[in-house]
Structure 1
Amino acid sequence: MKSLLFIAVVVLIQMAGSERHHPRPEFFECAEEAGIAKELLKEGFNANKDRPEFKCFSACIMKKRGLLESGNKINLDKMKENRSPKFADKAAEIDEAEQECAEKVAGIEDECDFVNAYKECMQNKVLKQ
């Protein structure tokens, strides 16, 4: 259970921030662009992640926050900047996982598939730790 919480915090805070309590404007912009109903937003991302309208949600947020650059490149410096200070003691492991996952998904051309593969890789890497 602690591993799942750690994954959720590392990956989702970096990508979507603490949106439930302090949503940033891009959260709502991306939801609107994706056609995500407000009711689904209230239920949360994890409850709806398999719905088609959520496929590109994380990619949109990552682009708007500068975490995803053109050509499907993860901005690792921005990822570090956006990381919660709560994970300072895990910084080296997270840095390594982010680098490895960015390299692993580098050949994926579809932006949404790229981000989803990156997130899945990060979840798998963090679970091993």
Structure 2
Amino acid sequence: YKESFHPFIMKCAEEYGITEEQFEEAKEKHSAEGIDPCFMSCFMKESGFFDSAGKFDADKTKEFVDAHLTSERAITFMEAVGSECAKVNDEEVTDGDKGCDRAKLMWGCIQDLKEKMEGSE
């Protein structure tokens, strides 16, 4: 399913000066340290996971999942993200609709969820 994210990652990486390696490394380390949260927001908006107001869009995310993901595990995980991480929309952020703060919160939620799900296997 990585291929389906690739065009969005590349577009935003270019804009924010982040290499694909840096992005992959951050995912592996479960840490967004050194990654511009606005890059994450760009990626979330480009892929439709965030709307133009910088809020998580569970419906659009589900559409993306249905259209691009085939792995049962990836689908289950993304469904969990949809239900568990929608709470980031209720968090107080300082950058309004830019979505950088919210993207950072979303990344944190996704990483926590990943650890929980990996621990329960």
**So what's the TM-score if we normalise by structure 1?**
0.61
Distance 2:34 2:16 in 1: 11
Residue in structure 1 matched with residue 29 of structure 2 by the alignment:
none
Uncovered stretches (5+) of structure 2, i.e. residues with no partner: 27-31
CA distance in 2, matches of 1:88, 1:125: 13
Counting matched residue pairs gives 105
Calculate percent identity across the aligned residue pairs: 28
Kindly provide the amino acid, as one letter, of the partner of residue 98 in structure 1.
Answer: G
Cα deviations by residue, 1:3-53 (Å, 9 ceiling, x for unpaired): xxxxxxxxxx5xxx437xx832x33321222133xxx33x2414354225x
Match of 1:103 among 73, 80, 87: 87
How much does 1:88 deviate? 6.2
**C-alpha distance in 2 between matches for 1:59 and 1:74:** 10
One-letter identity of the residue aligned with 1:125: L
The 2-side partners of 1:57 and 1:89 are apart by: 23
Q: Distance in 2 between matches of 1:94 and 1:50?
A: 23
Task: Return the alpha-carbon distance in structure 1 between the equivalents of residues 84 and 51 of structure 2.
Answer: 17
1:87 aligns with 2:72: yes
SS of the residue corresponding to residue 85 of structure 1 reads coil
C-alpha distance in 2 between matches for 1:94 and 1:31: 22
Matched, 1:33 2:18: no
Cα RMSD (Å) of the superposition? 2.9
TM-superposed CA distance for 1:69, in Å, is 0.9
Return the alpha-carbon distance in structure 1 between the equivalents of residues 39 and 74 of structure 2.
Answer: 29
Matches of 1:86 and 1:33 in 2, distance apart? Answer: 30
Q: Sort the Cα spacing of 1:28 and 1:97 in 2 relative to 1 into closer, same or farther, 3 A.
A: closer
Distance in 1 separating the partners of 2:82 and 2:43: 17
**Counterpart position of 2:34:** 51
- How far the C-alpha of 1:73 sits from its partner, in A, is 1.7
Structure 1 CA distance for aligned equivalents of residues 59 and 85 of structure 2: 14
TM superposition shift of 1:104: 4.1
